A and B are shown apart, each in its own frame.
Chain A
Amino acid sequence: MTNSADAVELIQSVEQADSPARLVAAVRSLAAAKLEAGIPTLITILGYNNPEAAVVALEGLVQLGDVAVLPLLEQLDDYNYGARAYSFRALAAIADPQALEKLLSAAETDFAPSVRRAAAKGLGNLQWSKLPLEQRQSAQARSLKTLLLLSHDPEWAIRYAAVVGLQGLATAELVSQPDLVSQILDRFNQMATTDTDLAIRARVQMAQQQLNATSVNLQTLSS
């Protein structure tokens, strides 16, 4: 349901905003309207170097959900890592597995840490059920491989994001893929004692505790 006259007006307000405050207000209105036609503009805002506006646009895109996924993938800005990071945060939040390829390559090869963090988190939390069954396992295996790689990254924040991603993946497949889960738990056991950063060891511990609690709940429910 698009109201094209509204969309044009709202988009114009954004494009003609002549101060940071007016820009933020205009983006807020556009995002609140939840118009598909507004998506390309919202994505452009991610690259405007106005963090307040970018966050509003990000939230608007996440609200629009699935319909924003292809435009986000198509409009990824190779030259603006700030915009790219916001885009991946949106893709991670919407969690559509159509984004898998780009998430995998961003997590492994993007030079910007903020992009890699967002992609790592995204890889662990995709809505796998949107994929046909026969594609699901291989998609998850590829996620696992990349996340395990990232769990060895020299930069602590990347390893942190990898732990968050691995926890998400394990939680989703706690019952259906014990082998996948045990690989993740093994890696967590390693990191809990060998990671150089206290913060990482703590995050791993939290993941282990939460997975344990979920596992116990599931067992109680099924008994």
Chain B
Amino acid sequence: MLEPSSTQDSESLSLPAEPAGGEPLTLEQALKNLTDPDLSLRYYAAWWLGKFAPGEPQVVEALIAALDDEADRTELGGYPLRRNAARALGKLADHRAVAPLIRCLECSDFYVREAAAQSLGMLGDPASIPSLMQLLEGGVASAQLVPGRPHLAQPAEAAMEALESLKAIAAAPLIEPFLEHPVERVKYAAARAMYVLTQESIYGERLVQAIANSDLKLRRTLLLDLGASGYLPGAKAIASAAVENSFKMIALKNMLENHLQQQETISVSPEAQQVMTLMDALL
């Protein structure tokens, strides 16, 4: 779960630095730049298109092509342009990206696999589910830190979040063992996904219990997880957590909107009113 900045911009991906002498990009220029010999221009263009050019048909095609880029490589063998292209495709809501992104789940670059998993969650196509579940095969034992790298063997957190978005109830048995994963972030991503998929309060309570025992950074992400989960009994725990009010407001807003979207009635439910009363007190 990425930490939002204090201005609530959930796009906390690190912004690539603008290329030297960069003028504001136009759509035409950005598309051209995707195949520019200057790799930093390619990289920036892919990011720019994801942020500023939704709804443009040629953009998706160009980004899909970039998923096969071979030119932009890191010293360790990663594919930076592919990563940015995969991230951008998640935001463009075009289903042509689904099959290519599923293929990216097999890329040798962990960060490409991670970005592809996240984007598949955003695109919402159930066809992604089996391949995403594959990432969790082998359970906790396989999902260990890779020696010498700062990441696990597979992007378990991203996979679980995507399966959660896709409401892949069938994935619950596969996710459950991750409740005991040694990495806390992974444990809690599993708890959140289990709650969303099963609606069993025991999983929501795990998140609530964890708040008291964690450090500030983890607490903040727990609050956001609780908000995103829609576990209403967690609202009070959010409101009284030892975290800045701004974070609590964001988490509660998420929870409220989650809840409201599931309602069919026009008038606000008592539960919604309770959440708003908690928010009022945080002002």
Name A residues whose Cβ lies closer than 8 Å to a Cβ of B. Answer: 51-52, 89, 92, 113-114, 117-118, 120-121, 155-157, 160-161, 164, 197-199, 202-203, 205-206, 209
Contacts and interface: CB of A to CB of B under 8 A. Distances in A.
A205 B244 contact: no
Contact of B253 (A117, A118, A156): A156
Give the interface SS of chain A, mostly helix, strand, loop or mixed: helix
A61 to B, nearest CB: 17
B92 interface: no
Leading 7 A-B pairs by shortest Cβ distance: A121-B283, A198-B257, A199-B253, A117-B283, A161-B283, A199-B256, A202-B268
B260 A206 contact: no
Contacts, number: 52
Given A114-B246, A120-B283, A198-B261, A206 B273 contact: yes
B245 A114 contact: yes
B244 A164 contact: no
A51 B242 contact: yes
A202 B245 contact: no
B280 interface: yes
24 contacts: A51-B242, A89-B283, A92-B283, A114-B245, A114-B246, A117-B283, A118-B283, A157-B8, A160-B283, A161-B283, A197-B253, A198-B256, A199-B253, A199-B257, A199-B260, A202-B256, A202-B268, A202-B272, A205-B267, A205-B268, A206-B268, A206-B276, A209-B267, A209-B268
B143 interface: no
A164 B280 contact: yes
B249 A203 contact: no
Interface in B240-261: 242, 244-246, 249, 253, 256-257, 260-261
B279 interface: yes
Contacts of A52: 242
Contacts of B283: 89, 92, 117-118, 120-121, 160-161, 164
Given A199-B256, A205-B268, A209-B267, 16 more contacts: A52-B242, A113-B246, A118-B283, A121-B280, A160-B283, A161-B283, A164-B283, A197-B253, A197-B257, A198-B256, A198-B261, A199-B260, A202-B268, A202-B272, A202-B276, A203-B279
Interface centre among B7, B276, B279 (most CB of A within 10 A): B276
B260 A198 contact: yes
A157 B249 contact: yes
Nearest to A118: B283
B265 to A, nearest CB: 11
Contacts of A198: 256-257, 260-261
Nearest to B249: A157
Contacts of B246: 113-114, 157
A160 B249 CA distance: 10
Contacts of A157: 8, 246, 249, 253
B245 to A, nearest CB: 6
B258 to A, nearest CB: 10
B248 to A, nearest CB: 11
Contacts of B276: 202-203, 206
Contacts of A89: 283
A117 B7 CA distance: 14
Contacts of A117: 283
B217 to A, nearest CB: 15
A20 to B, nearest CB: 11
A92 B281 CA distance: 11
Contacts of A160: 249, 279, 283
Contacts of A156: 253
